[in-house]
Every structure is written in structure tokens, then in C-alpha cells.
Structure 1
Amino acid sequence: MENKASPAERGYHMPAEWENHSQCWMGWPERPDNWREDAVHGQCVFAKVASAISKFESVTVCARASQWANARDQLPQNIRVLEMSMNDAWFRDIGPTFVVCDRPLENKTQIVAGIDWNFNSWGGAIEGCYADWDLDSLVARKILEVERLIRFPHSMVLEGGSIHVDGEGTCITTEECLLNPNRNPDLTREDIEHQLKLYLGIKKIIWLPWGLYGDDDTNGHVDNMCCFVKPGVVMLAWTDDEHDPQYERSVEDYSILSKATDAQGRMLQIIKLCIPRPLFMTEEEAAGLKALDGKQRISGTRLATSYINFYIANKGIVAPAFGDEERDKEAFCVLSEAFPDREVVMIPGAREIALAGGNIHCITQQHPAGLV
């Protein structure tokens, strides 16, 4: 089902991630030019992430026909596995952005719908991560068909990882990504703001200059840099090391946030969450990749690792652990304090997802619940 009126015009808005979910959507990695050793290690970590989330809410994992049996064997039985074609498994960016309509209806039910944004592999034919993304472009539509939800198609290129909302009218994003000419060169900042307001049902956008250092795949998605914890509170990737190239980015973003107000007029409380110490792709890891049409990954490249890239589940937080014992423990404590009513689960081996260009938030997509 499609609708030509914009979501906001129909009374829809994008809810905050901490609001109740009916399920979580994930893909299943397999492409050998992005997931080393034919994705054996990546699939293991995806299974850990899906299993952890499934303790808090339902999970659906989509896998290509050739991988369906493999995914089914690796995942617990309480997780639904659907056959679905895709070019890669980044469901935050290729899946729909779900919105809800809470205008009073006769049956008093909150209606869920989905936005199907345009996708160009994070930069198009020249700068994108792989040359063919035709299958990815259909994933959002397929999910909405499966769930029989209203579809709001949009021609603007946008990935779900480039936005965070508080559910009360505020969106946070980065100039580095949304204003990059490899996305929507014909749209101005004002044009983009207007479309976000029409489709997300928001009233104010806070523009951060930068995403995480080294996040070249996505051109600085906000979900690796900053997120809302609750209305009026944000969490920011941070480092105290003034010699780290991340430092200036964090300081500049902090400066913007410290002066910003949200759509409700509140000044923002900022929680700093330190990134792990610099991690780099090893020769062994790079050698495990096969040359296809994907972005070349070279040994010695610094990985874009951040604990901000976590998933908020019903009553849970599922976050990456990178093997930096001190920083992993610190992240667990900061997240536990920020979300006192949720159980924090750290996923060991999240480095495998970072090797391919993202992390836990990037591979998940929350499906909000229809509330009676």
C-alpha cells in the first residue's frame, strides 16, 4: 500500500527508539568482498546480536535464498528467518524508517507505516560502497509488503543511520553526511530540512558538523557519533586524547550541542562516551576478503569504532564490545547509568561488524509497536 500524502500531513511521526517495539529487523551478511572468510565471522556476530535482542523483543532476520538454511541453523528458533534478496545486510540504511500515527481513531489504535527512502549505496556509482544496489533498493518495500503496512516512498537519498530523533519533534544529523553532494546534490540544507519535517513529523533539526573519524563508508552517519538517550539528553562519542583526530570532531560537535535547544525549548544534557583506543584492520583480516565490486578494504586502515552504535530494545541495550577491556567496561557503566531501567548487553566480537563498515545500530531496524 502506498500513500501520496506525506506522513506528517497524515499525522505520522517517527517515534524515539526507546518507545515500545513490536520487533527488530535484521539482514544476514554474506558478500565476500565486505565480510572476511565468506562472512563466517560476521554471521557469528550477527547471530549473537540477534539472539541478544530476541531476549527483549521479537526479531526477524532476512537472508538470501542461498543463505536461508545457514541462517536458520545459526539462529535460535524464537527468531523468524525470512527469505529476501539483498546486496548487503545493513538494514538500518536499506530498511524502512517506521513512523506511527497517534491521532485518535475509532478503534483507538496507533497505526504503523514506513518510509521507503531512495538508496544509492552511500554515495552513488563513483563514491558508493558497491556498484550494484538494486536489491537493496527493494528491501524497504518488501518489508512493508510482508507486514501489509502503508508505504511512503521518497525520492530523496537518505539512510536510517544518518538520523536520530527524540520522538518529541527533534532530529539530530550531520552536515558531513546529509549535505554531502554524493547524496542529494540538487537539494539545499533548507530543502532537506523541509523534507525531514514532512516525513519524520519533526519540528527542529540539530546539525552537527561531523560524524566519527574514519567513518568514510557512510560519510559520517550520526548513529556512530551521537544519539538521543531520552528527551533532552544526548550521548556523544568522545576522546580525551588531543592528538587523536577524533578529538577536534568531538569538541566541535560538543560545542554545537551545548548551545542547542530541542523542539521543546530544552537545553541538552550531554553524556560523553569515550571511544575505544584506535583499532586497525590487520593484514590477516584484509587478506580474508575477496575482490568483487565492493569498496576495497586495506590493512592498516583505522576502524570507525564507537560505543554510540548500540541498539535500544524493549527493556534492553545491545551494544558493541571491541576487546578493549578498560573502555568496554567503561562503556557498560556509562550505558547502564544512562538507561537504569534497561539491561545492558555487550556483544563481544563487534570488531567484525566494524571491519565491514558499521556496527550494531547499523545492522538493526526497530519496528514500533501499534499501541492500543
Structure 2
Amino acid sequence: MTTPAADGFRMPPEWAPHERTWMAWPGPNPTFDDPEDLAASRIAWAAVARAVRRFEPVTVVCGPGQAAEARALLGEGVETVERELDDAWMRDIGPTFLTDGRGGLAAVDWTFNGWGAQSWARWEHDAKIGAHVADLAGALTYTSALVNEGGGIHVDGEGTVLLTETVQLGPERNPGWTKERVEAEVHAHLGTSKAIWLPRGLTSDYPPYGFGTLGHVDIVAAFAAPGVVVAHHQPDPAHPDHEVTKEAIGILRAATDAHGRPLEVVEVPAPTVLEADGHWADYSYINHYLCNGGVVLCGFDDPRDEVAAGIFRRLHPGRTVTLVDARTIFAGGGGIHCITQQQPKI
């Protein structure tokens, strides 16, 4: 059976030009089980969609019968389609898009099991959204047996991918898979050749805290350019993520990419708030989204919002940095990167 890499496809970096951004609309489910939470989440998702729409087309997948209400909040210029949904995290339930440099568009439809079959998760419909979106985009679809989500990977476009051991190697997702088997599957589907493994994600991404992913990398570290990584830094030793991020930053500083280059690690300090919703806050500026000419950055009404914005302006001088309040999104278990999925331009 052929693979994307064997057919010449690879996952472009997020900073490469986009055709559009895909999102999913929050609907009634265990993540938004309170009507007030659902209403607040829809307002937050719509704010992100409008921020992205300033830079590129946006299509929002809505549950049956929800598109008209969604359009009222999304405003002019945001497209909607209706498909059965369970949750609203398009980064994770949607496809990972690939290009071949010759005008071809493909997508990886990873196996999805509700972030490790967690008790609160529902995924009967979300497990099919990757294939639906790939079909809507006109992409050639490759399926993978690896249980994985888009938030669990980050690539530099030049052969390097970031992973976390508690995600791809976790027994909740891929029992019995070795690191070598995971790497082979990832490389075959992303066109990468070098994996850099972090041991875990942030503290609140695991039980008993909220709706976690069990360690997604896109809240901890992300490529900003080939050889350059932005990394979450919790400077307060009172927060357990102080040690978590110290370890991750140390691993990244000691790593080399697929071309043998040492990584330049740019530390981005966490917001000053230490607790949210009764547990340790996992607020992170790393969970940003790069779109055509823009950076849509998580805001937390925090003194460090502008510090982070300044860092991203320096890293992306040709892009407009837009802060969007992400506290409601984080209360649901993710951030701006988690609710967006890029379709690259071919």
C-alpha cells in the first residue's frame, strides 16, 4: 500500500501560504454541557474565525441545523457547511493537509478516538470529519492506523516533526506501538525524517484537570521557522509547569533538526495567572495560529499578552499580530491553534 511520502507529498509548515482555514462549530456536548458555556464558546470561536477571515477564507463545519445560527455570529464572509459533529476542535478531528509541489493536494485521515478514549469524550461523528473535510477540499485522502491528532504534531517543513511521548506512545491511543513504529508511520504520512520527542505536555492537560489531550505538543512548543522553535516557559516555581517547561526547553536546546542544525529556542513566558477554573492554568501563547499575513495569538487579559505579541512580531515581521481572548477556549480544553486547521495553497 502506498504512502503520502512515497507519492511525493509532505506537510508544509504552517507559515506556508494557505488556501483557507477550517474550523468546527461548538454544539451541545459534554464539553459545552451548560447553555451559558455553549453560548460563550460560540462567541469565542466566532471571534477567532473573524480574526482569521481578515487574512484568508474560513469555512466552519456546523452540526445539522446549526449553520444559520452560526452565520449570525460569524458575520459576513465566513462560509459554513453542515456535517454531523461531536465536538469543535478542528485541529484534532480534521485532516492534516499535504502538498506535493506539483499541484497536488492530499490529506492524512488519522485514527481518532477521543483523545485517548477519555470518559467525557464523544467521537462517533468526529472520527469521520477528517475524511469529510478532505473530500470537501478535493484532497486525495490517505488513512493512517496511528491514533493521532493535529495538535500532537508540529513540523518545520524541512523534515522535522515535534511529538510527545504521552500522546503517540500513550497506551490510551496506541498500545504496543514502539517509538520506532510511530516514527515510521509519522514520517511516511508527513514526509518528515527526524522526530524530536518531548516527554509530556503541560500539567493541566492530564486528569484530573478538565478536558485535556494527555500532552499535545502545540501548547508546549512550535516551529516559527526552520531551525527556530518557540517554547512555553513557566517562570514561576510555584507552578508545576515550571519544571515541565524547564525540561522541555532543555531537550529542545540539545536537539538538532533533520538537517543537523541546532535549534534556536525562543522562550515565551506564560501569563502571570497561575490558576483558572479551580486548577493550575495551562494558558499558553504557543497555541497560536499562523495565517496568510497574520498571527492570531491567544490573549488572556494579562500583562504578558503584549510581551508575547512583541516576541511574535519579531519572529514574523511580515505578519500582523492579532490578540484574541482565548480564556473561554482554554476552559474547554484548548486554544486558538486547537480550533483551526490550515489547508495549504497548492
- Structure-1-length-normalised TM-score: 0.89
CA contact (8 A) 1:122 1:128 kept: no
Query: Quick check: 113-122 or 250-259, which moved more?
Result: 250-259
Residue number in structure 2 paired with 1:272: 267
- Aligned-pair identity in percent equals 40
Deviation at 1:258, TM superposition (A): 1.1
Moved over 6 A (4+): none
The aligned amino acid for 1:354 is F
Residue number in structure 1 paired with 2:84: 85
The aligned amino acid for 2:156 is D
CA contact (8 A) 2:239 2:274 kept: no
Q: 1:369 & 1:141 partners in 2: Cα distance?
A: 19
Q: 1:82 & 1:146 partners in 2: Cα distance?
A: 9
2:225 aligned with 1:230: yes
Q: 2:163 & 2:18 partners in 1: Cα distance?
A: 23
2:256 aligned with 1:257: no
Uncovered stretches (5+) of structure 2, i.e. residues with no partner: 207-211
Structural mapping, 1:289-304, within 5 Å: 300-304=278-282
Query: Quick check: 25-34 or 132-141, which moved more?
Result: 25-34
Q: 1:114 & 1:32 partners in 2: Cα distance?
A: 27
The equivalent position to 1:323 in structure 2, one of 298, 301, 322, is 301
Residue number in structure 1 paired with 2:30: 33
Query: Quick check: 158-167 or 327-336, which moved more?
Result: 327-336
The equivalent position to 2:137 in structure 1, one of 133, 144, 147, is 147
Deviation at 1:32, TM superposition (A): 4.8
Residue number in structure 1 paired with 2:13: 16
Query: Quick check: 16-25 or 31-40, which moved more?
Result: 31-40
Deviation at 1:241, TM superposition (A): 1.6
Query: Once the two structures are superposed, what CA deviation does each residue of 1:69-104 show, in whole Å capped at 9, x if it has no partner?
Result: 1101111221111111110010000000001112xx
Query: Once the two structures are superposed, what CA deviation does each residue of 1:32-64 show, in whole Å capped at 9, x if it has no partner?
Result: 532241511111111110001011111001111
CA contact (8 A) 2:235 2:270 kept: no
Q: 1:330 & 1:264 partners in 2: Cα distance?
A: 31
Deviation at 1:208, TM superposition (A): 1.1
Query: Once the two structures are superposed, what CA deviation does each residue of 1:118-162 show, in whole Å capped at 9, x if it has no partner?
Result: 0000112xx3541x3110011011112222221101121000000
Residue number in structure 1 paired with 2:237: 242
Q: 2:44 & 2:136 partners in 1: Cα distance?
A: 26
CA contact (8 A) 1:158 1:178 kept: yes
Residue aligned with 2:30, SS:
coil
* Cα distance, 1:310–1:323 mapped onto 2, change above 3 Å: same
* Cα distance, 1:281–1:28 mapped onto 2, change above 3 Å: same
CA contact (8 A) 1:25 1:60 kept: yes
The aligned amino acid for 1:265 is G
Q: Which has the larger radius of gyration?
A: 1
CA contact (8 A) 1:278 1:302 kept: no
Query: Quick check: 360-369 or 210-219, which moved more?
Result: 210-219
Residue aligned with 1:227, SS:
strand
Residue number in structure 1 paired with 2:42: 43
The aligned amino acid for 1:366 is Q
Q: 1:128 & 1:229 partners in 2: Cα distance?
A: 34
Query: Once the two structures are superposed, what CA deviation does each residue of 1:185-208 show, in whole Å capped at 9, x if it has no partner?
Result: 021111000101111110100011
* Cα distance, 1:192–1:314 mapped onto 2, change above 3 Å: same
Residue aligned with 1:332, SS:
helix
CA contact (8 A) 1:321 1:351 kept: yes
Query: Once the two structures are superposed, what CA deviation does each residue of 1:290-311 show, in whole Å capped at 9, x if it has no partner?
Result: xxxxxxxxxx123321110000
2:344 aligned with 1:351: no
* Cα distance, 1:301–1:243 mapped onto 2, change above 3 Å: closer
Q: 2:200 & 2:84 partners in 1: Cα distance?
A: 33
The aligned amino acid for 1:110 is G
Q: 1:119 & 1:12 partners in 2: Cα distance?
A: 22
Query: Once the two structures are superposed, what CA deviation does each residue of 1:241-292 show, in whole Å capped at 9, x if it has no partner?
Result: 222211111111111111111001111101000111235444xxxxxxxxxx
Q: 1:252 & 1:50 partners in 2: Cα distance?
A: 34
Q: 1:202 & 1:31 partners in 2: Cα distance?
A: 37
Q: 1:6 & 1:128 partners in 2: Cα distance?
A: 33
- Structure-2-length-normalised TM-score: 0.95
